[in-house]
Amino acid sequence: MRQLSTLEITAVIEELKNVEGMFVDKFYLVSEDEFRLKLSRTGEKVNISCKLCYSFNKTKYLKSADNHKSTFESAVRKRLNGTHVEEISQINDDRIIKIGFAKGETKKYMIIEMFAKGNMIVADDQSKIELAYKQHEFKDRKIRVNEIYKPPEKAKITITDAIESRMPQMLNEILSNADGSQKLIKFLNSNVNIGLPYIEDSILECGADPNSKLSEINESMLSSILDKIHLKTNLIQTPQPIIYFDAADGILDFAICPLIKYKDKKSQTKSSISEMLDDVNYGEGAEQAIPKVNEKAEEAASSVRKQMEIIESMKERVEYDRRAGKKIFENMAVLNEVLEFALSQRHITLEDLKSKFPYLNITGIDLKDKTITVDL
């Protein structure tokens, strides 16, 4: 089954605004990349399910959590205990969900990245990362504890740009340097961040071929397509959730409005996006939509992933030791001076060392272990 698009995430966030104000009862790590948040208020209980990249919705299917202790699960529970949901929002109009939790003056944020392989992060009110389900380091950002959370670079044209009618002018500026030989659908999907299903449907609604070359599309046709994309943003407030089925009654696809390419397929409308995503991921037909994984193969793959994580950790340690060794070598002369001075003294304190070597950041001395700590 495909990942959620930006438009779908924007719409489901709008739908879930009614859980704001509810208290956190418990957080569960249900299985790998799958979480559940149990919320309540007087006379109402709600469970929100999240499969990284694939679902974020109210659920009636309460899967039991895996029978293993998770330090991540425990750490999240500790931080969210006694809080209430203050706000559910979106970062940069992208596939990033931000849930604000509050308890008195204390605020925490859960940031759920619903792209690539997905991630879940807990940060403080200054966006400093306290927990990360997956730790990564990219060219332009780091997802690591104590780093400031930084989202990926903002898309060229966002949903807000489309809603506020800035899209045509922005796209014209991009078109001036565009390669005319590229496919229309690829060009629009890489520049307008709403999601491939809705880009494709907007093109088909205008009677154009999504695989046409950009140079083959005249200005009038492009304007019509952009008008259709603009209208798709109305689905945020008035979605029309629908599930499509293949000939064997397995789930083929889903959307928040009818899609032209599936007009001849069997379909089923749903009353909410949550109901749609719940049935797609857990209901009848879900198993047919998501191929079963061979358990032994999955165990082997999991083992490989863990080994790769260990290797990455070892690489980081080697790099740290290399840098530390280089620093020590570069400062060997002055470090020897510190050692010689310390050995020549019968009694020595941290203040003595700082007074003797004011140009060094000497942070500690342990006479019992015979160690001196110098920050280079």
Residue 154 falls inside a structural domain? no
Side-chain half-sphere CA neighbours of 134 within 13 A? 19
Pick the closest to residue 101 from 89, 118, 93 (CA basis).
Answer: 89
Handedness of CA 134, 136, 142, 146 (dihedral sign): positive
Per-residue pLDDT reduced to its tens digit, 258-299 = 999 999 999 999 999 999 999 999 987 665 444 444 444 545
Which of 75-79, 230-234, 323-327, 350-354 shows the lowest mean pLDDT across its residues?
A: 323-327
Q: Average pLDDT, whole number, for the chain?
A: 90
The pLDDT-based confidence of 68 (bands split at 50, 70, 90) is: low
Count up the domains in the chain and report the number.
5
Q: What is the pLDDT of residues 333-347, one digit of tens each?
A: 888 888 888 888 878
Same domain? For 228 and 108 the reply is no
Q: In the predicted model, is pLDDT for residue 169 greater than 80?
A: yes
Comparing 243 with 1, the larger pLDDT belongs to: 243
Question: Among 53-67, 192-206, 331-345, which range has the highest average pLDDT?
Answer: 192-206
CATH of the domain at 251: 3.40.970
* Cβ pair 112, 55 in contact under 8 A: no
* Range(s) of the domain holding residue 12: 6-143
Whole-structure pTM value: 0.76
Domain annotation covers residue 349: yes
| Averaged pLDDT for residues 302-329 | 68
For residue 152, being part of any structural domain is answered with no
332 beta partners? none
CATH number at residue 229: 1.10.8
In contact, 254 and 216? CB cutoff 8 Å = no
Q: State phi, psi for 30 to the nearest 5 degrees.
A: -75, -45
Same domain? For 279 and 297 the reply is: no
Q: What is residue 304's predicted lDDT score, i.e. its pLDDT?
A: 58
Do residues 19 and 112 share a domain?
yes
Identity of residue 352 = D
CB neighbours (10 Å) of residue 39? Answer: 20
Low-confidence winner among 7-11, 140-144, 201-205, 315-319 (lowest mean pLDDT): 315-319
Instruction: List, in sequence order, every residue forming a beta bridge with 55; answer none if it has no partner.
Output: 51
Please indicate, yes or no, if residue 153 is contained in any of the structural domains: no
In a domain, 65, yes or no: yes
87 lies in the same domain as 103: yes
Looking only at the bridges linking them, the beta strands covering 242-245 and 266-269 are antiparallel
**105 in any annotated domain:** yes
Asked if 100 and 16 sit in the same domain, the reply is yes
CATH number at residue 14: 2.30.310.10
Does residue 337 share a domain with residue 284? no
Together in a domain, 176 and 260:
no
Q: Same structural domain for residues 20 and 125? A: yes
Q: Assign 266 to helix, strand or coil.
A: strand
In a domain, 151, yes or no: no
122 and 44 share one domain: yes
Domain annotation covers residue 148: no
Mean pLDDT, residues 3-22 taken together: 98
* pLDDT (tens digit per residue) in 22-38: 999 999 999 999 999 99
Residues in contact with 371: Cβ distance below 8 Å, sequence separation at least 6, in sequence order:
364, 365
Among 84, 111, 143, the domain-final residue is 143
Are both 20 and 107 inside the same structural domain? yes
Among residues 289, 319, 354, the one where a domain terminates is: 289
Q: Decide: 154 and 92 in contact? Cβ < 8 Å.
A: yes
Q: What is the DSSP string of 77-145?
A: HHHHTT-EEEEEEESTTSSEEEEEEEETTEEEEEEEE-STT-EEEEEETT-BEEEESS-EE-SS-EE-T
The pLDDT value recorded for residue 307 is 64
Residue 293 confidence (pLDDT): 40
Look at residue 291 in the predicted model and tell me its pLDDT. Answer: 42
Q: Could you say which of 235, 270, 302 is where a domain stops?
A: 235
Are 114 and 120 contacting, i.e. CB atoms less than 8 angstroms apart? no
- Residue 163 to residue 159: CA distance in whole angstroms: 6
CA 258 to the chain's CA centroid: 27
DSSP reduced 3-state for 223: helix
Question: What pLDDT sits at residue 312?
Answer: 63
The verdict on 55 and 138 lying in the same domain is yes
- Mean pLDDT calculated for residue range 12-20: 98
Q: What percent of the chain has pLDDT over 90?
A: 69
Same domain, 58 and 107: yes
